[in-house]
Amino acid sequence: MFSRLKLAVWGTAQRWFPDRQIYHRSDGQVRYFAISTAVQISALLSAAVLACWLCYSTVSVAFHGQALAAKDSAIERERINLNRMVAEAQASEATAYSFMESRMEEFDRAAYEFQMRHETLSQLVEFAEQLSGNDMAPSPALADDRVLMAATPADPTPRMARDPLINIAAMSDSPEDQISYLMGEQDNVLAQAEDATEARLENLRAVLRLTGLDIDHVVASGQNGEEQGGPYIPINDTQLFSDGWDLEADFSSRITRVAARMLEVEELERFIETGPLGVPVDAAYRRTSPFGVRLDPFNRRATQHRGIDFAAYRRAPIVATGPGRVIYAGWRSGYGRCVEIDHGYGFVTRYGHMNEIAVRRGDTVERGQQVGGMGSTGRSTATHLHYEIWYEGSAIDPERLLRAGQYVQG
């Protein structure tokens, strides 16, 4: 039966694929190739197998390509996520570094500000100590036996006791408590400087009020004569911390107030050191004629006496009543041998009737330095010194400055 089936199949194959001859004619010769049924069937089977393989490969590649594409897409998504995470991490790192750097800058700035504050306060304390050791009588008396007392300023801010502040700083390490402690210490020191400065200022003004002059105008005229300049750069308040710690507002205002008072004290002391507040005779003397209207000793008529006369022995030392520059030294009509000294602040002193002159024009003299000897040259009746003080071109009573000078001791 197998043989009959084999023969039937083979017969069918021969009918579908009979033996074939392929003839080929070339150069008058005819050749042929015989293709048997087995060869045809083998070729057909090979073609079928190849076609199946191609179809399988195509389908396999198509499905595998989709899988690869999906995998590549997943990998790309992972790569994007990783890049995003890296970028976020870098941004967080940069933010943290920037925050740390800003905090470090704030800390450095706060440390610098506190250092500058303590240096400023140290200077204020040093200045206050200098003020407390002043050599001026504290309570000048007025003509009617009243006494000028230095006012004690009220402290503008309540002061916290030192011990509670120390306890706060000891119990807590928080920056806020430490800052509160430092601010309390600064308030205490600043209050001491304020009290000392105000007391000194009131004392100076009390003494200078005895001159009867407009002290503010005198000080302003002295400032106008100094060599000063530079651009105007205002001082701006700054905030040290961004968390609401405004350490500059009250401190700066108080420092500005105390500094202004110190500058005023400095100007007043400079005037006291420079102004003609001394006595012009360095020897025992007596006053023989005051400032104002009097009878002329020669013609007995009413006349204006623009100075004060001091009598002593011949060649008694005549001294400068304040530091300054000699602007005249020589003979002047009516005054005889005469010396004039410019003390600044609009003040000029004149010394007349001297026996001899010990300085020359252009010399710089100090308070108490001898400028000549007492005599009776010029329009004079006897040995004496005629002493005048001129302020901004007008003669004033020297008694005013002599009275204030009683409270300025060398």
> pLDDT averaged over the chain?
77
> Which range has highest mean pLDDT (216-220, 290-294, 338-342, 406-410)?
338-342
The whole-number pLDDT of residue 211 equals: 79
d(CA 276, CA 271): 9
pLDDT band at 281 (very low <50, low <70, confident <90, very high): very high
| Residue that wins the pLDDT comparison between 236 and 170 | 170
CA 184, 103, 169: angle at the middle one, nearest 5?
25
Q: Structure tokens of 35? A: 């293709």
> Which range has highest mean pLDDT (56-65, 141-150, 389-398)?
389-398
Say if CB 183 and CB 116 are below 8 A apart: no
Domains of the chain are 106-225+235-274 (no CATH), 286-405 (2.70.70.10)
Q: Structure tokens of 300? A: 């007995």
Kindly state the average pLDDT of the residues 274-286: 91
Q: Report whether pLDDT(337) > 50.
A: yes
The whole-number pLDDT of residue 105 equals: 82
The whole-number pLDDT of residue 145 equals: 42
* Residue 191 burial (CB count, 10 A): 18
State percent of the chain over pLDDT 70: 76
The whole-number pLDDT of residue 160 equals: 44
| Residue that wins the pLDDT comparison between 33 and 73 | 73
Kindly state the average pLDDT of the residues 312-327: 95
Q: Is 176 left (phi over 0), alpha (psi -120 to 50) or beta?
A: alpha
Of 216, 221, 210, residue with least CA distance to 347: 221
pLDDT band at 142 (very low <50, low <70, confident <90, very high): very low
Residue 197, classified by CB atoms within 10 Å of its CB into exposed (0-12), middle (13-18) or buried (19+), is: buried
> Which range has highest mean pLDDT (50-59, 259-268, 297-306, 366-375)?
366-375
Kindly state the average pLDDT of the residues 183-208: 78
Which of 29-38, 67-76, 243-252, 269-278 bottoms out in mean pLDDT, i.e. has the lowest? 243-252
Query: Which tens digits make up the pLDDT trace of 145-179?
Result: 434 444 333 344 444 444 554 554 555 566 666 66
| Residue that wins the pLDDT comparison between 283 and 409 | 283
Which of 138-142, 163-167, 346-350 bottoms out in mean pLDDT, i.e. has the lowest? 138-142
Q: Report whether pLDDT(30) > 70.
A: yes
d(CA 361, CA 324): 11
The whole-number pLDDT of residue 131 equals: 55
d(CA 178, CA 173): 7
User: What backbone torsions phi and psi does residue 156 show, to the nearest 5 degrees?
Assistant: -70, -20
The whole-number pLDDT of residue 133 equals: 52
Residue 179, classified by CB atoms within 10 Å of its CB into exposed (0-12), middle (13-18) or buried (19+), is: middle
Q: Report whether pLDDT(135) > 70.
A: no
| Residue that wins the pLDDT comparison between 204 and 410 | 204
Query: Which tens digits make up the pLDDT trace of 182-195?
Result: 767 777 777 777 78
The whole-number pLDDT of residue 128 equals: 58
Q: Report whether pLDDT(404) > 80.
A: yes
Report the predicted TM-score, pTM, of the whole model to 2 decimal places.
Answer: 0.55
The whole-number pLDDT of residue 331 equals: 94
Q: Report whether pLDDT(119) > 90.
A: no
Q: Report whether pLDDT(280) > 80.
A: yes
Residue 325 bridge partners (DSSP): 342, 364
| Residue that wins the pLDDT comparison between 351 and 301 | 351
Q: Report whether pLDDT(248) > 60.
A: no
